[in-house]
C-alpha cells in the first residue's frame, strides 16, 4: 500500500529530508493523509486542520498543497493524533484519527503510541515494518463540518508601524504590535550584529 | 547573491513546489534565513522562532532543519516579520527582521509590504526583481537570547485515553483532552465514512 503518490520507502526518504529523521508519527501521518484523500472527491480544493503540533503537520505539508506559511494548514492543539481535510468553501470534509481500539492489534505501534516502553533505537526498524504492514488500518474516519471560523479567505488589512519597536505589524492588532503588548520572546543583547550586512 | 545553497531562481522554484506559488514573503524570508546563518557560527544546532504565521515559516522550513512537526520551529505571532535562530542549549542567537526604515528605498517592496496598492498580478515580476536586487539589504539583525521557555528539550509524558471522545492525548493536559475540554473545532456529520477502509 502506497502513501499518496509515493511508495513507503520513497515517503520515508522524503520524511528524512524534511523532518530530519524517519519519525514514526510522520509516516503514520502519511497513511492518514492518504486515507483522507481516498474519502474525498478528487480535484477538490481542501484546507487542513491538524490537532497536534507533533509530527503530523509535516505529513500534511509533504503530501498536500497546505503549509503553515500559506495558511491552508492550521494547527489547533487538542492533543489528539488527528487531522481534518475540508472543502475551503463549504467547510465539509473528513477527519482521520488514530483509533485507540484498532491500535491494540499492533504491539509495536501500541507501545510507541502510548509510550509504554522507553525509546529504543534498535526497535525502530520493527516499528517501521509494523507501520508499513498496518497502513491506515489503525485509523478511523468521520465525515465532519469544521467550525465557521476556519472557512473563507482572510484578507489582510493595512499595516502600521509599532511606536515602541518601530517594526510593522497588522494595524488590526491594536495601537501596539502583539510583541510589545504581550511581552517579548527574547531580549536583545546587541545590535547591529557583525555579519554579511 | 544566493539564498543559502540556492540561486534566486532555484529557491523560487522550491517555494513554488512547497508553498504553491512564488510568494514574495517567502522569498524575502529566504534572504532573512540566509542573513541569520551568516551571523552565526557554522555547524551549530539551532532552533527557530518565527514571529508570524504568514509566509515566513515556509522559508524557515525550506532552508533549515527546523519544521513545525519536528518542533524545532515554533511560531509565536507578534505580527512582525521577524525570525530568530538560536542555539538549542544556550538560547543565544540572532533575530532578523524587515527594517521599515530600510524598506523605504525599495518602492515595489514598500508598496507590497505596507499593502498601499492592491495586489496586481502584472506587477509580481517587478516585485520579484526588486526582492532579488535588494536581497537582505531591507533587513536588520540583533543578537538576542530567547526566553527560557524556548530552551531545552521537552520530553513527552504518558498518554491517556479521553473518557469522552475515546481518543488518546497527553495525560498532562488533564482529565479530558483539550478538544473535549475547550470545545470542538468541527461537528461530526457521520461515521464511519465510505472510502478505502
pLDDT tens by residue, A171-184? 999 999 999 999 88
- Show residues of chain A in contact with B197, CB under 8 Å: 35, 136, 140-141
Residues 6+ apart with CB under 8 A from A154: A71
Nearest-by-Cβ selection for A193 from B54, B141, B190: B141
Which helix (H) or strand (E) element contains residue A159?
A: strand A159-161
**Domain limits, chain B:** 8-150, 156-197
What Cα–Cα distance (Å) separates residue B111 from each residue in B47, B102, B107, B126?
A: 32, 13, 6, 12
> What's the whole-number average pLDDT of chain B?
92
Regarding the domain delimited by B156-197, which CATH topology (the fold level of the hierarchy) does it fall under?
Wheat Germ Agglutinin (Isolectin 2); domain 1 (3.30.60)
Residues 6+ apart with CB under 8 A from A145: A86, A90, A91, A92, A93, B186, B187, B189
Q: A54 in contact with B at a CB cutoff of 8 Å?
A: yes
pLDDT per residue over B95-151, tens digit each?
Answer: 999 999 999 999 999 999 887 776 665 589 999 999 999 999 999 999 999 999 999
What pLDDT, on a 0 to 100 scale, did the predictor assign at position B50?
A: 98
pLDDT per residue over A4-35, tens digit each?
Answer: 999 999 999 999 999 999 999 999 999 999 99
pLDDT per residue over A41-74, tens digit each?
Answer: 998 999 999 999 999 999 999 999 999 999 999 9
Nearest-by-Cβ selection for B58 from A23, A51, A67: A67
ipTM tops 0.90: yes
What pLDDT, on a 0 to 100 scale, did the predictor assign at position B119?
A: 64
Regarding the domain delimited by B8-150, which CATH topology (the fold level of the hierarchy) does it fall under?
60s Ribosomal Protein L30; Chain: A; (3.30.1330)
Q: B55 in contact with A at a CB cutoff of 8 Å?
A: yes
Instruction: Please give, one letter per residue, the 3-state secondary structure of chain B.
Output: CCECCECHHHHHHHHHHHHCCCCHHHHHHHHHHHHHHHCCCCCCCEEEEECCCCCHHHHHHHHCCCCCCCCCEEECCCCCCEEEEEECCCCEEEEEEECHHHHCCCHHHHHHHCCCCCCCHHHHHHHHHHHHHHHHHHEEEEEEEECHHHCCCCCCCCEEECCCCCCEEEHHHCCCCHHHHHCCCEEEEECCCCCCC
Say if pTM beats, i.e. exceeds, 0.90: yes
Residue B69 CA to residue A93 CA, distance in Å, equals 23
- Show residues of chain B in contact with A136, CB under 8 Å: 196-197
Closest Cα of chain A to B172: distance in Å?
10
For residue A143, how many other CB atoms are within 10 A of its CB?
19
What pLDDT, on a 0 to 100 scale, did the predictor assign at position B47?
A: 97
* Mean pLDDT for the stretch of residues B72-93: 96
What pLDDT, on a 0 to 100 scale, did the predictor assign at position B9?
A: 97
Q: Which residues is A109 bridged to in the sheet?
A: none
Distance of CA A48 to the CA centre of its chain: 8
- Show residues of chain A in contact with B26, CB under 8 Å: 69
Query: Length of chain B, please?
Result: 197
Same topology, domains B8-150 and B156-197? Answer is no
Amino acid at each position: 500500500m502506497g502513501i499518496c503518490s509515493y511508495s513507503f520507502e520513497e515517503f520515508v526518504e522524503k520524511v528524512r529530508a524534511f523532518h530530519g529523521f524517519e519519525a514514526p508519527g510522520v509516516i503514520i501521518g502519511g497513511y492518514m493523509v492518504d486515507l483522507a484523500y481516498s474519502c474525498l472527491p478528487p480535484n477538490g480544493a481542501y484546507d487542513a486542520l491538524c490537532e497536534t503540533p507533533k509530527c503530523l503537520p509535516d505529513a500534511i505539508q509533504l503530501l498536500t498543497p497546505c503549509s503553515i506559511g500559506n495558511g491552508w494548514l492550521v494547527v489547533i492543539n487538542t492533543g489528539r493524533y488527528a487531522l481534518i481535510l475540508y472543502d475551503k468553501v463549504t467547510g465539509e470534509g473528513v477527519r482521520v484519527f488514530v483509533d485507540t481500539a484498532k491500535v491494540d492489534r499492533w504491539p509495536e505501534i501500541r507501545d510507541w503510541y502510548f509510550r509504554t516502553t522507553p525509546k529504543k533505537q534498535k526497535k525502530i526498524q520493527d516499528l517501521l515494518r509494523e507501520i508499513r504492514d498496518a497502513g491506515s488500518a489503525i485509523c478511523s474516519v468521520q465525515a465532519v463540518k469544521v467550525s465557521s471560523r476556519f472557512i473563507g479567505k482572510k484578507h489582510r488589512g493595512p499595516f502600521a508601524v509599532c511606536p515602541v519597536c518601530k517594526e510593522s505589524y497588522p494595524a488590526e492588532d491594536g495601537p501596539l504590535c502583539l510583541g510589545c503588548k504581550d511581552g517579548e520572546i527574547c531580549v536583545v543583547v546587541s545590535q547591529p550584529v557583525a555579519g554579511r550586512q
